[in-house]
Amino acid sequence: MSTPNTPPACYRHSGAPARVACTRCNRPICPDCMTTAAVGFQCPDCVQEGKKSVRAVRTVFGGRVHDGRPLVTYTLMAACAVVGVLQIVIPGFTQDFSMWPLRVAFFDQWYRMITSGFLHYGVVHLLFNMWALYVVGPPLESWLGRARFSVLYGVSLLGGSTLIYLMAPLNTAHAGASGAIFGLFAATYVVAKRLQFDVRSVTMLIVLNLVITFAIPGISWQGHVGGLITGALIACAYAFSPERYRTLFHVGVPVALLAVFVTLTVWRTEQLRSLITIVSS
């Protein structure tokens, strides 16, 4: 039993004397449990409860505001750089993981539709795409938040691969992050338009890259156009969906696009396999 001259024990550490009381719950706390608050000190339990009650700050598009570092952008750049090194040091690595429609259709190598987006044909190809990602990635990631930016990038990549599978010659291999980056180009235009920014520079960027795409032989226009269309659709869902149905549109549109890509891929596979069956018979 405490005497008037004996301080009460800390509610978390029974052997430690409490010098103050938590300003939120009024329980006695020792120096080890004291956390400075706006007024006085709070106990660890009240500090945790306070953190839960504070809503995360979000951007105008619903993404969480982070510390400003474009973590996803830098991670994607690092992944492409690592894969670029593997292409150099491992014989046959590029051939084994590039987007080759023939292999997808007849050997069930679906993974190529994803892995090809991290491969590049030479250092110049890699540096050009990484420069583009470095330019458009950070502002988009900041506006959309990391989760939405990641979805935009990944689904745009698959959109490019799907159009390659549907329209490119079967015996040609494709590689590069360009499909995903074209998706970022389109999203940058849409987001800038929504924020009422001047879009002339990004419009020129898109037009210039499309001209290069169709003017230079050997460039996979299917991957670029597929990524561009996909990125535009997702960005429109992010930027112009009614606030009341924001979550529905932000989740539903990418999921619906993935479902379309899977359906088209399965249909194309069955079509190609049936053609081979007809020819062989």
Give SS3 for 171: coil
Average pLDDT of every residue of the chain = 90
Bigger pLDDT: 276 vs 255 = 255
56: which residues sit within 8 A by CB, 6+ positions away?
Answer: 64, 65
Residue pointed to by tokens 């969906």: 241
pLDDT for position 56: 58
pLDDT for position 15: 78
Check pLDDT > 90 for residue 38. Answer: no
Instruction: Give 60-79 pLDDT, tens digit per residue.
Output: 777 777 777 899 999 999 99
* Local confidence band at 58 (pLDDT 50, 70, 90 cut-offs): low
Instruction: Give 266-276 pLDDT, tens digit per residue.
Output: 999 999 998 87
Check pLDDT > 80 for residue 116. Answer: yes
Bigger pLDDT: 32 vs 149 = 149
pLDDT for position 190: 96
Percent of the chain with pLDDT over 90: 69
| Alpha-helical runs (H) found in the chain | 44-53, 71-89, 93-97, 101-107, 112-115, 123-144, 146-167, 178-194, 200-215, 221-240, 246-280
Check pLDDT > 60 for residue 162. Answer: yes
Angle, helices 146-167 vs 71-89, to 10°: value is 40
Q: Are 117 and 105 in contact (CB under 8 A)?
A: no
Q: What pTM, to 2 d.p., does this model score?
A: 0.79
Q: How far apart are CA 29 and CA 212, in angstroms?
A: 68
**Going from the N-terminus, what domains does the chain have, and what CATH number goes with each?**
1-54 (no CATH), 71-280 (1.20.1540.10)
pLDDT for position 41: 82
Residue pointed to by tokens 């400003």: 68
pLDDT for position 278: 62
pLDDT for position 1: 45
pLDDT for position 37: 79
Check pLDDT > 70 for residue 24. Answer: yes
